[in-house]
Amino acid sequence: MPKDSVLIVGGGPAGLEAARGVADLGKKAILVEARDELGGTPYASSYATLTPDLRDTEEEMAGLLGDVRKHPLVDLRLGTRVVKSEGREGEFRVTLAGADGAQVEEEVGAVIIATGFQHFDPGRETQMYGYYEYDDVITLVDAEKMMKQGKIVRPSTGEPPERVAFIQCVGSRDRQIGNKYCSKVCCGIASKQSIEIKRMLPNAKVFIFYIDMRMYGFWEDQIYWKAQEEYKVNYVRGIVTEIIRKGDRLLVKGEDTTMGRPVEVLMDMVILSVGMEPSRGTIEMSRIFNIPREDHGFLATQGGPLDTVSTPVPGIFVAGAAAGPKDLEDSISMGGAAAMKAVALLNRLQRVSVG
């Protein structure tokens, strides 16, 4: 008989939704998370609010986390990693290792990989933005942590900035470093953060330097126009080529591509909109489960736009940013789809074995 349980690897939004879905459909869900807490990147990176509606992260995710923690069919394994896998759909034998090194083998019928992404390291941009050189050059993640604490200050002085610049597409849409794709959420997150900065510091001037602003769906109305019209955020179409220190401020050099002329502006703080890359966990799961990676390094799927969660390995599914840049809505939707397909597979295999 095929095994009647599903292994979910990763306890972020996609993995949580997958575990809840599998359990609600009546199958046992073994949820494995390498960290000591659930929540994935929104928790590990201290996201203050979620895009696009600016609702508190912990309040918004509390329901999902509660459902998973209390569900009788969810077997939660924190501080645990997958180190080995054998078998095939219906009868995978997976070895799990705890933080103490102890290993245990589990038999499952299907697997869902939800190992997420990692943020791009802006130091790889040959330091053209001075991330490791200037204290007042930070990333979206650094800014989000500040907002979690309820304040925006210049790291160099501890004082509120008067002029703040966002630089888009850092680590995305860049063939020179190998990331030829758009990370999808960075424009929206920068716009969301610009609104939050203006709420905290109404007199601050906020600029967003962009190649193209890529808003989709309702984000255009929810945050893009709102940032401009209600909060007077300045969007500048241009390419930033260098940041240097001038006195106690940062001189941002580049080109205003709309006007076709060079631009140099002084800023108190610069926020780099860093993109998404495959996480170490995603790369490791590719190796352990023999899942091919697509051209950009994320886990490959085989169904195109009509099946976003089935990998080329029968019985193994993927959800969320392990399959490429995704926003929260994408991740939750994929988690639910992966749960449905995994349970459907188990039911089909059981019918075949009985028949």
For residue range 66-118, what is the model confidence (pLDDT) as tens digits? 999 999 999 999 999 999 999 999 999 999 999 898 999 999 999 999 999 99
High-pLDDT (> 70) share of the chain, %: 99
Q: Which two tokens stand for residue 139?
A: 């990333």
Residue ranges covered by each domain of the chain: 5-116+279-353, 120-275
Report pLDDT for 288: 98
Q: Do domains 5-116+279-353 and 120-275 have the same CATH topology?
A: yes
Considering the chain, what is the average pLDDT of its residues? 96
- Quickly state the pLDDT bin for 232 (edges 50, 70, 90): very high
Please state the CATH superfamily assignment of the domain spanning residues 120-275 in this structure. Answer: FAD/NAD(P)-binding domain (3.50.50.60)
Beta strands (DSSP E) in the chain are: 5-9, 28-33, 49-50, 55-56, 74-78, 80-88, 91-98, 103-108, 110-113, 117-119, 137-139, 163-170, 205-210, 234-246, 249-256, 261-267, 269-274, 276-278, 316-318
Q: Which two tokens stand for residue 127?
A: 């330091």
Helix axes 57-70, 13-24, angle to 10 degrees: 40
- Quickly state the pLDDT bin for 124 (edges 50, 70, 90): confident
Report pLDDT for 123: 86
Give the strand pairing for 249-256 and 234-246: antiparallel
- pLDDT tens-digit readout, 34-45: 999 999 999 999
Alpha-carbon distance values, 136 to 124, 154, 162, 179, 189 (Å): 18, 6, 12, 25, 19
- pLDDT tens-digit readout, 133-170: 999 999 999 999 999 999 999 999 999 999 999 999 99
Report pLDDT for 354: 83
Of the candidates 42, 36, 69, 35, the residue with the CA atom closest to the CA atom of residue 57? 42
159 Cβ contact list (under 8 Å, min separation 6): 153
Residues in the chain: 355
Give the count of beta carbons closer than 10 Å to the beta carbon of residue 126: 8
CATH class of 5-116+279-353: alpha beta
Report pLDDT for 257: 87
CA neighbours within 13 Å on the CB side: how many for 132? Answer: 7
* Cα–Cα distance, 274 to 167 (Å, whole number): 9
Report pLDDT for 154: 98
Report pLDDT for 303: 87
Alpha-carbon distance values, 179 to 139, 182, 190, 240, 278 (Å): 18, 8, 19, 18, 11
* Cα–Cα distance, 73 to 198 (Å, whole number): 45
High-pLDDT (> 90) share of the chain, %: 92
* Cα–Cα distance, 291 to 286 (Å, whole number): 5
Report pLDDT for 274: 97
Residue 126 scores a pLDDT above 70: no
The pTM for the full model equals: 0.96
Rounded to the nearest angstrom, the gap between the alpha carbon of residue 344 and the centroid of all alpha carbons in its chain is: 27
Report pLDDT for 235: 96
Residue 187 scores a pLDDT above 90: yes
- pLDDT tens-digit readout, 302-338: 988 999 999 999 999 999 999 999 999 999 999 999 9
